[in-house]
């Protein structure tokens, strides 16, 4: 069982559960549940995968292999479906490559036939452009700019000189403009991380990021219709949506999910908090 494997490696490195909790920002309660195989105590499969990956990375073992073993042990039907889709994509890619090669082979003879006339046309076009540009330059240099009208400029200068000096008026204070929501085609989420945080981001139904982000990092994700961010340590995430400061995602140690859509990009949406601070 994957929990036994993680616990054995932890003990081999002389680490306690509290050491893992401190290093990964995962609650000790969840770490104990993973080691015992009690996955029902975790917020869900997505969180379980993220916590297990974070745990394995901290122990410096192959995280992808560990997550794959977890899915094979607990969700074999999803693994089988993913493998089937992968096989279908591979077959489609091979068929596409074969089709492209066939089209290239068919089109090679045509390219050989039209290459000579095409080159001749390009040469004539370049010669025509050179003639037009050369004629334009000659025309510009041949112009006598001494005939340019100067009367209007002189009149304006004289009127300006005779105009009485305007009395200085105290400048009126302009009202301060309120920061506007950044105009973005869809949703742009900028997240700044002040501590380690396991994070998953889904844009328009597609997972675009899943993993642990180190402190000091700033990441940007975009979506046309919707961006959903799930943070395993919400107090470590400061967010801006379409340029609007949204503050922190939650409190330290909280598992929080937030959803942003274009019509509510400048508002602070209600967070779907999956967990409360320990």
> Whole-angstrom Cα distance, residue 91 to residue 193?
41
What residues does each domain of the chain span? 2-74, 187-264
Residue 233 has pLDDT above 60, yes or no: yes
d(CA 56, CA 2): 10
Whole-angstrom distance, CA of residue 260 vs CA of residue 228: 6
pLDDT in tens, 171-204: 555 555 555 556 778 999 999 999 999 999 999 9
Average pLDDT of the segment spanning 124-143: 55
Q: Give residue 241's pLDDT band: very low, low, confident or very high (50, 70, 90).
A: very high
List CB contacts of 68: < 8 A, sequence separation 6 or more. Answer: 79
What is the model's pLDDT at position 22?
93
- Residue 170, pLDDT above cutoff 80: no
Topology of domain 2-74, CATH: 434 Repressor (Amino-terminal Domain) (1.10.260)
């370049």: which residue's tokens?
Answer: 126
Q: H-helix or E-strand containing 273?
A: strand 272-273
Encoded tokens for 181: 């929501």
Tell me the C-alpha distance between 193 and 144, whole Å: 66
Average pLDDT of every residue of the chain = 77
Residue pLDDT, tens place only, 95-129: 778 777 776 766 555 455 545 555 556 666 676 66
Q: Tell me if 244 sits within 8 A of 269, measured CB to CB.
A: no
pLDDT at 93: 82
Tell me, what's the pLDDT at 253? 82
């Amino acid at each position: 069982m994957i929990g036994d494997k993680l616990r054995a490696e932890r003990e081999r490195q002389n680490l306690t559960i509290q050491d893992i909790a401190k290093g990964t920002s995962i609650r000790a309660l969840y770490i104990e549940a993973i080691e015992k195989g009690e996955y029902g105590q975790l917020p869900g499969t997505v969180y379980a995968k993220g916590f297990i990956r974070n745990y394995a990375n901290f122990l410096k073992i192959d995280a992808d292999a560990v997550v794959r073993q977890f899915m094979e042990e607990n969700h074999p039907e999803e693994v089988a479906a993913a493998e089937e889709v992968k096989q279908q994509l591979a077959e489609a890619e091979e068929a596409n490559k074969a089709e492209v090669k066939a089209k290239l082979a068919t089109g090679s003879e045509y390219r050989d036939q039209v290459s000579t006339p095409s080159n001749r046309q390009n040469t004539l076009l370049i010669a025509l452009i050179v003639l037009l540009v050369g004629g334009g330059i000659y025309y510009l240099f041949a112009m006598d700019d001494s005939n340019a009208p100067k009367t209007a400029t002189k009149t304006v200068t004289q009127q300006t000189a005779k105009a009485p000096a305007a009395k200085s008026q105290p400048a009126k204070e302009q009202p301060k403009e309120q920061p506007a929501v950044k105009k973005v085609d869809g949703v742009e989420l900028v997240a700044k991380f002040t501590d380690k945080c396991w994070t998953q981001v889904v844009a328009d139904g597609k997972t675009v990021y899943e993993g642990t982000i180190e402190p000091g990092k700033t990441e940007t994700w975009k979506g046309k219709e919707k961006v959903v961010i799930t943070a395993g340590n919400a107090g470590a995430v400061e967010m801006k949506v379409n340029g609007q400061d949204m503050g922190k995602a939650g409190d330290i140690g909280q598992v929080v999910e937030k959803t942003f859509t274009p019509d509510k990009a400048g508002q602070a949406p209600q967070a779907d908090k999956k967990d409360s601070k320990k």
